[in-house]
Amino acid sequence: MSGTNAGSSLDAELSGLLGAHWITDGSRLEALRGDRSGLIAEGRGIGLAEPADTEQAAAVLRIAAAHGVPVVPRGAGTGLAGGGVVGAGRIALSTARMTEIREIDPVDQVAVVGAGVINAELDRAARQYGLRYAPDPASRAISTIGGNIATNAGGLLCAKYGVTREAVLGLTAVLADGRILRTGHRSVKGVTGYDLTALLVGSEGTLGVITEATVRLIPRPDVEPVTVGAVLPDLGGALELCRELQAAGQRPALLEIMDARSLAAVTRYLPEADRPGPFAGPLGAGSAAVIVQWDAEGAGAAAERAMRLVDALGGRAIRCDDEAGGERVLGVRRAMNPALPNGTDVLIEDVCVPRSRLAEMYAAIARIEAETGIEIPTAGHAADGNLHPHLSVRAEDRTPGGEIPERVWDAAARVFRAALDLGGTLTGEHGIGVLKARWLRDELGDESFALQRGIRQLFDPRGQLNPDAVFVADDPGANANGDTVP
Amino acid sequence: MSGTNAGSSLDAELSGLLGAHWITDGSRLEALRGDRSGLIAEGRGIGLAEPADTEQAAAVLRIAAAHGVPVVPRGAGTGLAGGGVVGAGRIALSTARMTEIREIDPVDQVAVVGAGVINAELDRAARQYGLRYAPDPASRAISTIGGNIATNAGGLLCAKYGVTREAVLGLTAVLADGRILRTGHRSVKGVTGYDLTALLVGSEGTLGVITEATVRLIPRPDVEPVTVGAVLPDLGGALELCRELQAAGQRPALLEIMDARSLAAVTRYLPEADRPGPFAGPLGAGSAAVIVQWDAEGAGAAAERAMRLVDALGGRAIRCDDEAGGERVLGVRRAMNPALPNGTDVLIEDVCVPRSRLAEMYAAIARIEAETGIEIPTAGHAADGNLHPHLSVRAEDRTPGGEIPERVWDAAARVFRAALDLGGTLTGEHGIGVLKARWLRDELGDESFALQRGIRQLFDPRGQLNPDAVFVADDPGANANGDTVP
């Protein structure tokens, strides 16, 4: 680690390079200690570098490497696993100035964008050409394409349109030592060598800093989406409805499920006027919800069938045949985040199981609730088997610093274990980050873990990039600041 | 390399392990010297190992590693780049016995299959559940899922349904030293660590031997496909038609283009009775063809529009509203392979460019034809920008051994260069194999090449797996048999 002299030389070099875009203001650095995970890093970072482009990012990394100072890549700070928190001794490298949509090509149906472009802005720009950027994490209005790529962000539309990886054709990334790597193609096909594009997607800033991306756009559906929002008497009915809606041949664009605790939390949070159809009225104690949307020809017939199914299951539903109405219904699901925000009182988790095991995963969560006394409202993307258990911190368990108490982490660990036992994963779309690093090896197994750590060392031998994330817990030496792992 | 004693010990060990499935019969080994690329390896391999399962494959690799003998993984031998040819001093490891479809799950919409399962057989099995295995390389009737994955095989449906990578959720692979690696998930989502599944896809047997795969199935379209086959007066008209058929909102399932030489070759090959509609009649000298198919609601309207476009461009077309009729039309495109088989007289190439540059790529090929005097019939997947130039060997250039003459390789190199200059790639779907290894670094650039070679060394430090493919030409040391690269 650099001492005082090295520190001031580092400061001078980065000031010289970036001018006002090398920021050491205390309040800015304070904000960078956290993200949307609720985690707060120990201490403040050294400074915030906001390079204008790939070349400047490379220069920042060369300077940092020369001083042996680790760098944490940072998008919009919307991560839910602490992968972008910046603590003592680290430099934050932000993509905030890389916001250029360089190109949208309606013939190739690709966009070339800076890593700092906001997801929803790209989609808005694509809309002018009748195209869409499909990956739609819940954070899409505020999260960046670069951050989405670094975490392989998911969202509501994945079962039909795939995760972020499927949308990324090529990348520009800066390696820890400042080398610039270009991967991939402008075409869907291309099999020259290994798929480094896919390797960088989801690497959470540990292999390189993504600065630019070539992404795939797809034709925007030319029919209005049809949406059904249903309240079922119990979770069993909701799960049954989800199964029926995915029977072969059916392909909803999205399919969301909310259990009774989730529905109760949202009902408390949302004013009645914002709760359409059955969500407005009084809800039975165990009621659960399903929201489904179709965006292709035949949507009307599918919705009709869904309404009949809801009826047969003893539920009530609203159907909306236009986008605005659909958004109102989806608002019920989207209210989960503000109703139960990640942080002091809630730990939002992100397990994913084969969708045939959803009922078993819900049952496991109920068992863990009963055994630990911790409430776990759980909603998620039923078509993917991706559930977000919201582990609640009880008043008596609150910690002085606002960190998630160990007791809640213990319950989370049981949730992870249950997901793994069902053939699932710790994290469907949020990433490992800092918060889940200690369970990484459990899921990967020894062979995969060793190879992955080897890849990390190949790209970043000194562990300079995002050293507190992903590969930390099991072998601290692998990511120790400035140390080479033998 | 093992001497005679080591050799007989190797033989005894593999016989002991595999019994009759360790094959050293001369005629079998002779056949393994080639694949569908036309390349013939120097000399015959040591033997052919046909392990029954992953564990036996691991045992084969441990024995081979102990003897320092390289291993070439082999599927059905349908490769077009020489990635599976087995020459002197090598053991062939075949997946021919790993043909079990272990599971098709209609709820999760996944299949778990042995690497030796034939692509079309998996699709046939999925059909019973109303599902489909989408990746459809031209070889699908005879190629294996393992080989498809090892080359990230493409096909006709990729622009709409993606390449093989998009269909692969998880893999079991055996590393060079016999360790068994399991990657991925049974769900579409899952972001724990790096995406080793995607890294193995397209790695052409240089990272591990893929023995089992969990693949994604998708609902089979419930409408009959509608197909239009058109003959246009010239290539310009065909390209114009392709552009129009891909205008925003339109999404054909497949879109094929054939230039005049391709059409002439197919017309010579196919009996008139097998050439439906305009393909039967006399064709103008410069005529080119477009074949397009839709498989979703709205297909009829799209076909109607296509017929009008063809008419406006001065062409003639046939429309078929059922699958059987569509197959007859597609038969015209599929006849390219038997009409101009890879081998002594033809070198089939596989460039891919952004689809907006298709006309420029065709123009470059015409220039190369004019400059070299080599005829290059070119057909391909227009929606992907993926063209297959068929470089013809002139009678006077034939080599005594039947190898592709250097003069033809020189022309191929010009085709590659033109594709790279247009922002494209050497290979859209066939792979680098042995034949294109010498151009690998040109496309990747130094940074990517170095990282990829590093990954190869991490997985296979002694270069035991498929040592003649992919990473050979630029630095022979990197893949020398049994040598560690410094």
Cβ-based neighbour number of residue B307 at 10 Å: 17
The pLDDT score that the predictor gives to residue A416 is 97
The pLDDT score that the predictor gives to residue A41 is 95
A243 part of a folded domain: yes
Q: Are residues A169 and A114 both part of a single domain?
A: yes
Better pLDDT: B402 or B465 = B465
Of A265-279, A393-407, B58-72, which range is least confident?
A393-407
Taking an 8 Å cut-off on Cβ atoms, the answer to whether A426 and B386 are in contact is no
Q: Are residues B129 and B152 both part of a single domain?
A: yes
Question: Does residue B456 surpass a pLDDT of 60?
Answer: yes
Q: What is the distance in angstroms between the Cα of B4 and the nearest Cα belonging to chain A?
A: 34
Three-class HEC string of chain B: CCCHHHHHHHHHHHHHHHHHHEECCHHHHHHHCECCCCCECCCCCCEEECCCCHHHHHHHHHHHHHHCCCEEEECCCCCCCCCCCCCCCCEEEECCCCCCEEEEECCCCEEEEECCCEHHHHHHHHHCCCEECCCCCCCCCCCEHHHHHHHCCCCCCHHHHCCHHHHEEEEEEECCCCCEEEEECCCCCCCCCCCHHHHHCCCCCCCCEEEEEEEECEECCCCCCEEEEEEECCHHHHHHHHHHHCCCCCCCCEEEEECHHHHHHHHHHCCHHHCCHHHCCCCCCCCEEEEEEECCCCHHHHHHHHHHHHHHCCCEEEEECCHHHHHHHHHHHHCHHHHCCCCCCEEECECECCHHHHHHHHHHHHHHHHHHCCCCCEEEEHHHCEEEEEEECCHHHCCCCCCCCHHHHHHHHHHHHHHHHCCCECECCCCCCCCCHHHHHHHHHHHHHHHHHHHHHHHCCCCCECCCCCCCCCCHHHHCCCCCCC
Confidence of residue B480 (pLDDT cuts 50, 70, 90): very low
pLDDT digits (tens, 9 = 90+) for A87-122: 999 999 999 999 999 999 998 999 999 999 999 999
Taking an 8 Å cut-off on Cβ atoms, the answer to whether B181 and A451 are in contact is yes
The pLDDT score that the predictor gives to residue A475 is 46
Confidence of residue B20 (pLDDT cuts 50, 70, 90): very high
The pLDDT score that the predictor gives to residue B5 is 56
Find the CB nearest A354 among B187, B201, B298. Answer: B187
Question: Structure tokens of A222?
Answer: 């030319």
Q: Which domain holds residue B10?
A: 4-94
Question: SS3 for A161?
Answer: helix
> How many whole angstroms separate alpha carbon B468 and alpha carbon B41?
10
Chain B residues in contact with A440 by the CB 8 A cut-off are 192-193
Q: Are residues A362 and A420 both part of a single domain?
A: yes
Chain A residues in contact with B222 by the CB 8 A cut-off are 249
Tell me which residues of chain B, numbers 358 to 417, contact chain A at a CB-CB cutoff of 8 Å.
381, 384-386
Find the CB nearest B190 among A105, A428, A470. Answer: A428
Mean pLDDT along residues A360-373 = 98
Prediction ipTM score: 0.94
Better pLDDT: A14 or A138 = A14
The pLDDT score that the predictor gives to residue A300 is 94
The pLDDT score that the predictor gives to residue B341 is 86
Last residue of a domain, one of A219, A238, A257: A219
B299 part of a folded domain: yes
B66 part of a folded domain: yes
Report chain A's mean pLDDT, rounded to a whole number: 93
The number of distinct structural domains making up chain B is 5
The pLDDT score that the predictor gives to residue A159 is 81
Question: Does residue B395 surpass a pLDDT of 60?
Answer: yes
Chain A residues in contact with B449 by the CB 8 A cut-off are 193
B276 part of a folded domain: yes
Tell me which residues of chain B, numbers 92 to 121, contact chain A at a CB-CB cutoff of 8 Å.
105-108, 110
Which chain A residue has its CA at the smallest distance from B189's CA?
A428
Q: Are residues A130 and A195 both part of a single domain?
A: yes
B484 part of a folded domain: no
| Amino acid identity, position A42 | E
Report chain B's mean pLDDT, rounded to a whole number: 93
Q: What is the DSSP letter of A253?
A: S
Chain B residues in contact with A427 by the CB 8 A cut-off are 190-192
Last residue of a domain, one of A169, A191, A219: A219
Chain A interface, best mutation among B158, B160, B192, by max A CB count within 10 A: B192
pLDDT digits (tens, 9 = 90+) for A158-200: 888 889 999 999 999 999 999 999 999 988 899 999 999 999 9
B355 part of a folded domain: yes
Nearest Cα residue to A119 out of A103, A105, A102, A138: A138
CATH of the domain at B84: 3.30.43.10
Q: Are residues A83 and A166 both part of a single domain?
A: no
Nearest Cα residue to B368 out of B408, B427, B423, B421: B408
pLDDT digits (tens, 9 = 90+) for B264-279: 999 999 999 999 999 9
Tell me which residues of chain A, numbers 271 to 310, contact chain B at a CB-CB cutoff of 8 Å.
296-298
> How many whole angstroms separate alpha carbon B165 and alpha carbon B263?
31
Taking an 8 Å cut-off on Cβ atoms, the answer to whether B220 and A105 are in contact is no
Residue A407: burial class (beta carbons within 10 Å; 0-12, 13-18, 19+) = middle
Which chain B residue has its CA at the smallest distance from A190's CA?
B428
Q: Are residues A308 and A238 both part of a single domain?
A: yes
Q: What is the distance in angstroms between the Cα of A121 and the nearest Cα belonging to chain B?
A: 19
Taking an 8 Å cut-off on Cβ atoms, the answer to whether B194 and A203 are in contact is yes
> How many whole angstroms separate alpha carbon A90 and alpha carbon A468?
10
Chain A interface, best mutation among B109, B149, B180, B187, by max A CB count within 10 A: B187
The pLDDT score that the predictor gives to residue A297 is 82
Taking an 8 Å cut-off on Cβ atoms, the answer to whether B451 and A196 are in contact is yes
Question: Does residue B477 surpass a pLDDT of 60?
Answer: no
CATH of the domain at A254: 3.30.70.2190
Question: SS3 for A230?
Answer: strand
Q: Are residues A316 and A347 both part of a single domain?
A: no
Question: Structure tokens of A90?
Answer: 């680290």
Q: Are residues B333 and B344 both part of a single domain?
A: no
DSSP lists the bridge partners of residue B254 as B293
Q: Are residues A277 and A230 both part of a single domain?
A: yes
Q: Are residues A300 and A260 both part of a single domain?
A: yes
CATH of the domain at A210: 3.30.465.10
Chain A interface, best mutation among B103, B105, B185, B191, by max A CB count within 10 A: B191
Question: Does residue B12 surpass a pLDDT of 60?
Answer: yes
Question: Does residue B139 surpass a pLDDT of 80?
Answer: yes
Confidence of residue B484 (pLDDT cuts 50, 70, 90): very low
B133 part of a folded domain: yes
B485 part of a folded domain: no
Confidence of residue A5 (pLDDT cuts 50, 70, 90): low
Q: Does B353 touch chain A (CB under 8 A)?
A: yes
Mean pLDDT along residues B243-249 = 81
Q: Are residues A360 and A469 both part of a single domain?
A: no
Q: How many CA atoms within 13 Å lie on the side-chain side of B419?
A: 30
Task: Please list, in sequence order, all residues whose beta carbon lies within 8 angstroms of the beta carbon of residue A82, skipping any fewer than 6 positions away.
Answer: A35, A37, A39, A41, A433, A434, A435, A468, A469
Last residue of a domain, one of A219, A244, A263: A219
Confidence of residue B7 (pLDDT cuts 50, 70, 90): low
> Which is it for strands A91-94 and A47-49: parallel, antiparallel or unpaired?
parallel
Question: Does residue A238 surpass a pLDDT of 80?
Answer: yes
> How many whole angstroms separate alpha carbon B374 and alpha carbon A394?
78
Confidence of residue B159 (pLDDT cuts 50, 70, 90): confident
Confidence of residue A484 (pLDDT cuts 50, 70, 90): very low
Confidence of residue A223 (pLDDT cuts 50, 70, 90): confident
Helices then strands, each counted (H, E), chain A: 16, 18
Mean pLDDT along residues A338-363 = 94
Cβ-based neighbour number of residue B128 at 10 Å: 9
Question: Does residue B482 surpass a pLDDT of 50?
Answer: no
> How many whole angstroms separate alpha carbon B144 and alpha carbon B147?
5
Q: Are residues B323 and B407 both part of a single domain?
A: no
Taking an 8 Å cut-off on Cβ atoms, the answer to whether B187 and A386 are in contact is yes
Confidence of residue A249 (pLDDT cuts 50, 70, 90): low
Taking an 8 Å cut-off on Cβ atoms, the answer to whether A432 and B179 are in contact is no
Q: Does B198 touch chain A (CB under 8 A)?
A: yes
Task: Please list, in sequence order, all residues whose beta carbon lies within 8 angstroms of the beta carbon of residue B426, skipping any fewer than 6 positions away.
Answer: A192, B350, B351, B416, B419, B420, B432, B436, B439, B440, B442, B443
pLDDT digits (tens, 9 = 90+) for A301-339: 999 999 999 999 999 999 999 999 999 999 999 999 899
Mean pLDDT along residues B127-154 = 95
Cβ-based neighbour number of residue A412 at 10 Å: 25
Question: Does residue A76 surpass a pLDDT of 90?
Answer: yes
CATH of the domain at B377: 3.30.70.2740
